[in-house]
């Protein structure tokens, strides 16, 4: 497990995120969903937002059907398709929802596919940063290392919300997303320093040797902790700070159903609030 610290230049990150949102080209940069607040009383409301940026700092993007392919709400006795409630116009904003059921609530979002073309050098740098050097080797061995790469990417993100100070097994529900981070231990009952185990699934099967990043932002400083999945697709973190954490992963495969694309990338993400040390 490796820890990195970065001091952010907030204005630069915000400008970058806005440009990405407007252009629709957010590949190679994080995309996550947040619930604010992430803990509410029974009958209380939270607001879901979609965010894009670097180092867990960025800007809110439109919560609309132009970007949302699926939106699901899971809790004890609840499995709700929220897509019919998503805005039809691409206005930047959040998705408000009132939560009546005490316990853990899970929200899962799937994006529509988007496309980007990257030059060979930039594509390889992005692959290296996301722990996919094997694809770099494949391209170099095939003599295509300098060739631009046409990438089609999709986002699969989740967030957890606590209602009424209660908890249940909803945190571990497998949503069936194509790429999915699934907690084994409950992040909402854990505290700072506790070991938290997770599994990574690709098409409902464990995915080995994937690079997972855990992100935390406080006072313009980003903490990044890295881990790799084992042969069973499992990984673990001992997270050192209370507050909002975001886990991210990228998996890439050759495109087989389109002549317009070379690679399909899948971006998995999970966010939750960690309590202080117990």
What does the pLDDT read at residue 277?
83
What does the pLDDT read at residue 55?
85
Say whether pTM exceeds 0.95: no
* Length of the chain measured in residues: 278
What does the pLDDT read at residue 11?
35
What does the pLDDT read at residue 6?
56
Q: How many CB atoms lie within 10 A of CB 278?
A: 9
Residues 180 and 92: their CA atoms lie apart, in Å, by 26
Those residues of the chain that have pLDDT short of 70 are 1-28
What does the pLDDT read at residue 92?
74
Asked if residue 56 lies in contact with residue 217, where contact means CB atoms within 8 angstroms, the answer is yes
Parse the chain into domains and list their residue ranges.
2-274
User: In sequence order, what DSSP letters do the residues of 206-253 get, joined into one string?
Assistant: E--S-EEEEEEEETTEEEEEEEE--TTSEEEEE--SSEEEEEEEEEEE
What does the pLDDT read at residue 1?
60
Q: Report strand pairing: 195-202 vs 179-183.
A: antiparallel
29-53: string of b/e by CB count within 10 Å (b at 16+)? bbbbbbbeebbbeeeeebebbbbbb
């Amino acid at each position: 497990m490796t820890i990195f610290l970065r001091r952010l230049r907030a204005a630069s990150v915000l400008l970058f995120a806005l440009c990405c949102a407007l252009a629709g080209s957010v590949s190679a940069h994080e995309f996550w969903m947040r619930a604010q607040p992430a803990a509410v009383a029974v009958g209380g409301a939270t607001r879901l937002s979609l965010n894009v940026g670097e180092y867990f700092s960025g800007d809110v993007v439109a919560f609309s059907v132009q970007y949302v392919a699926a939106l699901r709400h899971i809790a004890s006795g609840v499995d709700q398709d929220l897509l019919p409630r998503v805005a039809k116009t691409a206005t930047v904003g959040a998705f408000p929802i009132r939560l009546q059921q005490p316990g853990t609530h899970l929200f899962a979002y799937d994006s529509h596919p988007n496309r980007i073309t990257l030059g060979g050098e930039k594509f390889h740098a992005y692959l290296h940063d996301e722990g996919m050097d094997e694809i770099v080797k494949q391209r170099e061995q095939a003599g295509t290392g300098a060739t631009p790469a046409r990438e089609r990417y999709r986002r699969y993100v989740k967030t957890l919300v606590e209602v009424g100070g209660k908890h249940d097994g909803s945190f571990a529900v497998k949503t069936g997303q194509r790429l999915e981070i699934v907690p084994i231990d409950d992040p909402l009952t854990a505290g700072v320093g506790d070991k938290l185990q997770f599994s990574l699934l690709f098409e409902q099967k464990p995915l080995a040797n994937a690079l997972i990043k855990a992100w935390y932002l406080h006072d313009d400083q980003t903490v990044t902790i890295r881990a790799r999945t084992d042969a069973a697709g499992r990984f673990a973190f001992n997270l050192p700070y209370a507050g909002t954490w975001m886990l991210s992963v990228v998996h890439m495969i050759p495109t087989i159903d389109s002549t317009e694309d070379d690679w399909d990338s899948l971006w998995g993400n999970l966010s939750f609030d960690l309590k202080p040390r117990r």
